[in-house]
């Protein structure tokens, strides 16, 4: 059987039953195929087999740019997630409280049963838990310090406290013998010079009175978030309820967590606020509740985190510009090294567009090589830092003792696709220099 003719001339003379548009498509495919073939046949090495110095520098520059971009994104995502996790561990995504300050009397406390109607607007994944937050003074024979005791119910999630525990254990609050056990921060323990198993006097403030209890330190936590570590100790809702002589269905704050996104947090807070205000207008309730989401209560930290986005955008922009400049320089180097070949191709009838495509493809080979090297090194650093935390941070300044990094496959794919697309577009204009090369003058060019 006779082999089909796949040359450009044969394709150009082919009369397609689909008309002129089909012929144009065949011609375009032929040009692209031939350009890719030429680019693949061109070597990036010298006659001795060594990589050309300009090419090696270009690939190195591209790889370094990719490494910086990927690490910037990984650090930004890791840092934001770690800080958000710490803030929401101490606070909550949404907080419901009474406008009147809590003074330990029933009239200023929230009955969680009164909010059943409002809870109907919560998404299924959300959870509402009752909490008492009360000022307390912790005292030892040598020192004292003020803090806020957070009394959490039996159904409260202690995961955040337990994963930051550095000494001791989380008490079994179902046992009466551990009712007056507490978990304090490393900072507070240092200031009071106490440790696990020691006892401290606690003065619980409420209104114009105070109640005193001796608490046993069952555990010590350390989140490196000094603003919160210096302020919070953890106990149980039953203990604080017993101190105030109130029912365990009463508390100072209702915490809502489990929402999936910032948008869901804001929307849910708005719905809760509207529902509670509607109860006041219709006379179903005479209590004024305050609904606050974490973006408002911790606005200082979230505004700070928002600055990270700006920093990363600046870094990505600079690295993208450097990558594009490197590729354009590499394209010019490749063209200058093969001026003789360009003249020969033109003399043989090759179009300027065909030769331009061939050199764009050749330059894209450098880009792909740089991307592969950069991605491999960046992913290795991210995984190593995630597992070992070998790059430290000053916790006093950054609230973390190591650089947080998060590997995100979607971000990696989007970044690589964006680099390839932008680079291909950027190379189109500089490749026009090929159209200015006259074959009669450069065939013997050395």
Q: Does position 237 have pLDDT exceeding 80, yes or no? A: yes
Least confident of 20-29, 56-65, 327-336: 20-29
- The predicted model gives 228-257 an average pLDDT of 91
Contacts of 16 (CB under 8 A, 6+ apart): 22, 23, 26
Instruction: Label residue 284 by pLDDT band (50, 70, 90).
Output: confident
Residue 187's Cβ-count burial label (10 Å; 0-12, 13-18, 19+) is: buried
What's the CA angle centered on 431, arms 430 and 437, to 5 degrees? Answer: 110
Least confident of 51-65, 269-283, 299-313, 421-435: 51-65
Least confident of 5-19, 244-258, 319-333: 5-19
Question: What is the pLDDT at residue 105?
Answer: 47
Q: What is the dihedral of CA 31, 34, 35, 41, to 10 degrees?
A: 180
Q: Does position 357 have pLDDT exceeding 50, yes or no? A: yes
Instruction: Label residue 167 by pLDDT band (50, 70, 90).
Output: very high
Q: Does position 7 have pLDDT exceeding 80, yes or no? A: no
Domain borders along the chain are 1-29, 42-83+302-442, 95-297
Q: Which pairs with CB-CB distance under 8 Å and at least 24 residues apart come from 269-274?
A: 269/94, 269/293, 271/121, 272/94, 272/96, 272/118, 272/121, 272/122
Q: Does position 154 have pLDDT exceeding 50, yes or no? A: yes
Q: Does position 308 have pLDDT exceeding 70, yes or no? A: yes
Average pLDDT value over all residues in the chain: 85
Least confident of 47-61, 73-87, 113-127, 128-142: 47-61
Q: Does position 39 have pLDDT exceeding 70, yes or no? A: no
Q: Does position 203 have pLDDT exceeding 90, yes or no? A: yes
Tokens of 52: 């050309």
Strands 165-168 and 209-221, by their bridges, are: antiparallel
Question: What is the pLDDT at residue 417?
Answer: 96
- The predicted model gives 168-197 an average pLDDT of 89
377 within 8 A of 384, measured Cβ to Cβ: no
Q: Does position 43 have pLDDT exceeding 70, yes or no? A: no
Instruction: Label residue 29 by pLDDT band (50, 70, 90).
Output: low
Q: Does position 79 have pLDDT exceeding 80, yes or no? A: yes
Question: What is the pLDDT at residue 35?
Answer: 62
Instruction: Label residue 323 by pLDDT band (50, 70, 90).
Output: very high
- The predicted model gives 200-225 an average pLDDT of 91
Question: What is the pLDDT at residue 100?
Answer: 59
- The predicted model gives 412-438 an average pLDDT of 93
Q: Does position 147 have pLDDT exceeding 50, yes or no? A: yes
pTM of the predicted model as reported, rounded to 2 decimal places: 0.82
Question: What is the pLDDT at residue 42?
Answer: 66
Question: What is the pLDDT at residue 23?
Answer: 53
């Amino acid at each position: 059987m006779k082999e089909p003719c796949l040359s450009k001339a044969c394709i150009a003379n082919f009369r397609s039953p689909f008309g002129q548009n089909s012929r144009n498509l065949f011609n375009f495919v032929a040009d692209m195929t031939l350009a890719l073939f030429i680019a693949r046949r061109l070597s990036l090495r010298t006659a001795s087999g060594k990589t050309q110095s300009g090419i090696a520098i270009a690939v190195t520059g591209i790889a370094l740019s990719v490494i910086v971009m990927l690490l910037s994104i990984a650090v930004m995502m890791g840092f934001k997630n770690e800080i958000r996790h710490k803030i929401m561990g101490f606070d909550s995504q949404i907080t419901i409280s009474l406008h009147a300050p809590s003074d330990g009397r029933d009239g200023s406390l929230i009955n969680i049963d009164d909010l059943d109607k409002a809870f109907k607007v919560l998404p299924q994944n959300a959870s509402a838990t009752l909490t008492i937050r009360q000022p307390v003074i912790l005292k030892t024979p040598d020192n004292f310090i003020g803090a806020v005791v957070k009394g959490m119910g039996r159904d409260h999630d202690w995961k955040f406290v337990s994963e930051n525990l550095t000494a001791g254990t989380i008490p079994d609050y179902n046992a009466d013998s551990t009712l007056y056990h507490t978990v304090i921060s490393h900072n507070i323990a240092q200031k009071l010079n106490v440790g696990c198993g020691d006892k401290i006097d606690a003065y619980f403030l409420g209104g114009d009175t105070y109640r005193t209890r001796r608490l046993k330190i069952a555990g010590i936590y350390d989140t490196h978030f000094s603003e919160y570590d210096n302020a919070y100790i953890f106990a149980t809702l039953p203990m604080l309820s017993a101190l105030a002589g109130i029912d365990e269905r009463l508390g100072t704050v209702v915490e809502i967590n489990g929402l999936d996104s910032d948008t869901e947090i804001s929307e849910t807070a708005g719905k809760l606020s509207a529902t509670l205000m509607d109860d006041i207008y219709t006379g179903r309730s005479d209590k004024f509740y305050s609904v606050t989401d974490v973006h408002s209560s911790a606005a200082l930290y979230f505004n700070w985190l928002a600055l990270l986005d700006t920093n990363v955008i600046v870094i990505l922009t600079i690295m993208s510009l450097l990558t594009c400049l490197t590729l354009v320089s590499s394209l010019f180097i490749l063209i200058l090294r093969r001026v003789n070949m360009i003249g020969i191709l033109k003399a043989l009838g090759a179009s300027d567009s065909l030769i331009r495509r061939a050199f764009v493809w050749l330059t894209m080979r450098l880009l792909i090589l740089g991307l592969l090297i950069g991605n491999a090194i960046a992913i290795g650093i991210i995984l190593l830092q995630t597992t070992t935390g070998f790059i430290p941070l000053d916790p006093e300044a950054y609230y973390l003792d190591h650089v947080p990094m998060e590997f995100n496959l979607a971000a990696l794919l989007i970044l690589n696709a964006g680099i390839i697309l932008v680079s291909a577009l950027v190379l189109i204009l500089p490749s026009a220099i090929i159209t200015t090369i006259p074959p009669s003058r450069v065939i013997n060019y050395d």
